[in-house]
Amino acid sequence: MKILVLNGSPKKKSDTFRLTDAFLKGMNKAEKHDVTVINVIEKNIAPCQGCFGCWAKMDGHCVINDDQNAILDLYKDADLIIWSFPLYCYAMPSHLKALLDRTIPLVKMKMVQGEDGTVTHEPLADFSKIHTLVICGSGFPDWEGNFDGLKAMCKQCFCGPDMICVPETPLLNVPAAAVIADPLLAKFEKAGEAYSKDFTLTAETIAELERPMISKEDYIRNVNGM
């Protein structure tokens, strides 16, 4: 299986990527997969300029000559794409959003309407074979409301992906918090092992992965005391 990981954290020691790495470790237990990790912050990806030159060429590439086209080639050949990133202003970091904006060459200008009335662009690549998983970490102490905007965007962009949205992820890089962080990493590894079998995560598993590690009050007190 070809797995493309789009690591959207601007930091090398990423809290969120520790979760993703544990998930991948679980996936690789039963079978070794072909995993490509793109550290997006290290790539030269310009913003989309809205020229629609890609729709004139229709070759699955952007007219801007930077690192995006190589990523597009990996994107359309992947069996699983994992978007891994921290929550920035209730959405994804800007450099990762630039990458997402420039996946437009993988669809056509032609619009189609689904049975539910939703209008989309006709795909140029075969998205039916690509599974999408979003793993997002947040520095906030709780889940409620903080991920709503992101979930709405991902639902539209990725046609209802599996999503794991985790609060309190800065605790993963606090040595003294290992007693509560390590069990969460173990849960992600176990979830990855299960996911590799049928590309599904139960609601119970997602809820367990998204559960805050400590109470909101304790988290705020610790953050404010730093």
- Going from N- to C-terminal start, the domains of the chain cover 2-224
DSSP 135: E
* Side-chain half-sphere exposure of 198, counting CA atoms within 13 A: 3
Closest CA relative to residue 40, chosen from 80, 76, 86: 86
Q: Mind listing the pLDDT tens digit for each residue in 116-168? A: 888 889 999 888 899 999 999 999 998 778 999 999 999 989 888 899 999 99
What is the rounded CA–CA span in Å between residue 36 and residue 42?
Answer: 14
Q: Mind listing the pLDDT tens digit for each residue in 30-59? A: 888 999 999 999 999 999 999 999 999 999
DSSP 46: P
Take residue 205 and report the two structure tokens written for it.
Answer: 């598993």
User: Domain 2-224: what homologous superfamily?
Assistant: Flavodoxin domain (3.40.50.360)
State the DSSP H helix or E strand holding residue 83, giving kind and residue range, or none if neither.
strand 80-86
